[in-house]
Structure 1
Amino acid sequence: MKWFVAALAVCALVPTVHSASDAVAWCYHLPTCNDTTWPTIATQFCNGTRQSPINIVEADATGDSALTSFTFTNYDSIDGMTKIENTGKTVKVALKSGLTVSGGNLPEAFDSLQFHLHWGNGVAIPGSEHTVNGKRYPMELHIVNSKSSLNGNTTLAVADSQGLAALGFFIEEMTGNSTNQPASWQNLTSYLARIPHQGDSVAIAPGFSLDDLLTGVNRTSYYRYLGSLTTPNCNEAVVWTVFKDTIKVSRDILNLFGKTVRVGNSTSVLMENVFRNVQSAQPVTTQVASSASKTCYSLGLMALGLALRGN
């Protein structure tokens, strides 16, 4: 009985869209409930055929001319982030209504609901969920979006094969000896000390935007595939967009997550290695090279050929 009550308590604190779970006690750090057990403790989807994350093999990505630019509405709002929370599984930031993403061959406009992060242990152990050509990055940020026509009903969203759209951004260490950079990430991580335990949350003061956190990323260059939530119940309801460019932050910011927040109360372990390992490969698409790029490439080859003949 005590185990059952504890399981309900754990699930009640899990982000609604992040896991869409109200009945499964799962974890990252214990052998009884870590990601190797999810296919058996959450059998409906976690052992499915369209699971995330995956290893993206760049050479295998098929060109798709329909993968156009996105429109990000109100991502520049300096009061778009409302609350930051330690869920016991991740750090989650709630977004105010009115932030949306459209275009990019998404089936319709999507409401941006929240973002959360996955990490290993600072720069020592990388912890991104997706990998590219086998490379795992230190961290990964996921912005979770729900079809606007569903009016925030996440029950309907996870029942729709494309009800959710997740935007994945890799995070890695910037070059040089900078600290507390960029300023937007220093601002965000300054809240970590105020949410050390599971269930802790605090309001975020206006002053920096989601765009500020995504600095340096070319959001017209990305991979696309159909997959799932990366936590139980692993619903296969997600249109995944994984951006090619990385967010670059200073080493101290990368290291701060695994040193500050815990999976439970003050006596529990620090929150480390909060990522699911890669699942079976899925078909991946990406942008088709523009005609201008192809022309430049052809002209370059011609010039090289002429130069070689001249020698």
Structure 2
Amino acid sequence: MSVLVTALFAACALFSSVNCADSSVEWCYHLPSCNDTKWPVIASKYCNGTRQSPVDIVTTAAKGDAKLTEFTFHNFDSKSAFKTIENTGKTVKVNFNGGMTISGGGLSEPYDSLQLHLHWGNGSSIPGSEHTVDGKRYAMELHIVNVKSVHNLNVTAAGADSTGLAALGFFIEVMSGDATGQPASWKTLTSYLANITKKGNSSSMASGISLDDLLEGVNRTKYYRYLGSLTTPSCNEAVVWTVFKEPIKVSRDLIDLFSTTVHIGNGSSPLMVKIYRNLQPPQAVTTQASDSSSTTYLSMGLLALSLMLGRCY
């Protein structure tokens, strides 16, 4: 029996950030006895490692890398990509039907897109993104989880591979002005929250919106890259992180729905709020070489101009 339990734990805990709820690991966000300050003890194999996520991205420290080319997003325009949406007790997760892949973007090979999930604070007024940029925390963060295609969605193999997973992180920011119910794709997505108010609730999703729809307005050629980990136990250090620079803009009322609709357990349990891991020690972050070089050339140009002007007086 102990061997079976260990095997089940290993298979499920590898993808806890992919939100495979595992009762053998009693971790949480909301209690001092099991929140992220205790994860290095609860899941000590990886959660106290040296390559942990999330991190604060210091833009001035990000080095240019010519290998960080544009991505190819295959079938991200599919209107029937979303299979189910569920309340895991830790987050809201959308499972994909399959057929979506990512390649390019400095990745060594193609990756199959598996699911998306979200992290948030408490309404639009208390931000809850996992990553931060120069200390700024955004309202929410969306993660699209992808598995190296060679692993054929074998989570055990992916979790043991230092680059077995590729996570795409998108910040979500409150839309300016008094708009409500915008964008339409997010209004459709959040309309399902009423069906998954309790832990374990799941709802089938009708065709109608795509990943491209949810990511509308984001320039996906601009991003940061670093090697990190899953952001929940068991914190496997197997993730190639891509954090996009431009945020998704969503109206305040839709953002607020996440922290006012879904619960961590049954209907009488606390609402799901502040579901993000605190920042971990910094990692080496890279970005497109063009961004870095343009900054360098501008600085050199300004220096040359100042020297020329100095000679004129």
Q: Normalising by the residue count of structure 2, what TM-score does the alignment of the two structures yield?
A: 0.90
Structure 1 residues 145-201: Cα deviation after superposition (integer angstroms, max 9, x where no partner): 000110010111001000000000000101111000000000000000110000001
Cα distance, 1:132–1:247 mapped onto 2, change above 3 Å: same
Give the counterpart letter for 2:88 in structure 1.
T
- Tell me the residue number matched to 2:115: 114
Does structure 2 retain, via aligned residues, the 8 Å contact 1:120–1:138?
yes
- Tell me the residue number matched to 1:261: 262
- Tell me the residue number matched to 1:84: 85
Q: CA RMSD in A?
A: 2.8
| Distance in 2 separating the partners of 1:186 and 1:21 | 27
CA drift of 1:253 comes to 0.7
Q: Which blocks of at least 5 consecutive residues in structure 2 are unaligned?
A: none
SS in 2 for 1:262: coil
Do residues 250 (structure 1) and 251 (structure 2) align? yes
SS in 2 for 1:45: helix
Percent identical among aligned pairs is 62
Structure 1 residues 89-140: Cα deviation after superposition (integer angstroms, max 9, x where no partner): 0000001111000001111100000000000011121000000001110100
SS in 2 for 1:193: helix
| Distance in 2 separating the partners of 1:45 and 1:147 | 20
> More displaced, 88-97 or 13-22?
13-22
Give the counterpart letter for 1:142 in structure 2.
H
| Distance in 2 separating the partners of 1:96 and 1:33 | 33
Do residues 134 (structure 1) and 135 (structure 2) align? yes
- Tell me the residue number matched to 1:149: 150
- Tell me the residue number matched to 1:45: 46
Cα distance, 1:294–1:36 mapped onto 2, change above 3 Å: closer
Does structure 1 retain, via aligned residues, the 8 Å contact 2:15–2:159?
no
| Distance in 2 separating the partners of 1:180 and 1:21 | 31
| Distance in 2 separating the partners of 1:58 and 1:192 | 35
- Tell me the residue number matched to 1:54: 55
Structure 1 residues 270-296: Cα deviation after superposition (integer angstroms, max 9, x where no partner): 000000000000000000126995799
Give the counterpart letter for 2:18 in structure 1.
H
> More displaced, 28-37 or 293-302?
293-302
SS in 2 for 1:115: strand
Aligned residues: 304
Cα distance, 1:118–1:131 mapped onto 2, change above 3 Å: same
| Distance in 1 separating the partners of 2:72 and 2:288 | 16
| Distance in 2 separating the partners of 1:163 and 1:271 | 29
Give the counterpart letter for 2:223 in structure 1.
Y
SS in 1 for 2:171: strand
Give the counterpart letter for 1:62 in structure 2.
K
Q: Which blocks of at least 5 consecutive residues in structure 1 are unaligned?
A: none
Does structure 2 retain, via aligned residues, the 8 Å contact 1:174–1:250?
yes
| Distance in 1 separating the partners of 2:34 and 2:89 | 14
Give the counterpart letter for 2:150 in structure 1.
S
CA drift of 1:24 comes to 1.0
- Tell me the residue number matched to 2:18: 18
Give the counterpart letter for 2:225 in structure 1.
R
Give the counterpart letter for 1:209 in structure 2.
S
Give the counterpart letter for 1:214 in structure 2.
L
- Tell me the residue number matched to 2:281: 280
| Distance in 2 separating the partners of 1:157 and 1:49 | 19
Does structure 2 retain, via aligned residues, the 8 Å contact 1:14–1:87?
no
- Tell me the residue number matched to 1:200: 201
- Tell me the residue number matched to 1:125: 126
| Distance in 2 separating the partners of 1:291 and 1:25 | 43
- Tell me the residue number matched to 1:289: 290
Map 1:214-225; keep pairs closer than 5 Å: 214-225=215-226
Cα distance, 1:43–1:295 mapped onto 2, change above 3 Å: closer
| Distance in 1 separating the partners of 2:200 and 2:104 | 35
SS in 2 for 1:67: coil
Runs of 4+ residues deviating >2 angstroms: 11-17, 19-23, 290-311
Give the counterpart letter for 2:105 in structure 1.
G
- Tell me the residue number matched to 1:188: 189
CA drift of 1:248 comes to 0.3
- Tell me the residue number matched to 1:234: 235
| Distance in 1 separating the partners of 2:231 and 2:291 | 33
Q: Normalising by the residue count of structure 1, what TM-score does the alignment of the two structures yield?
A: 0.90
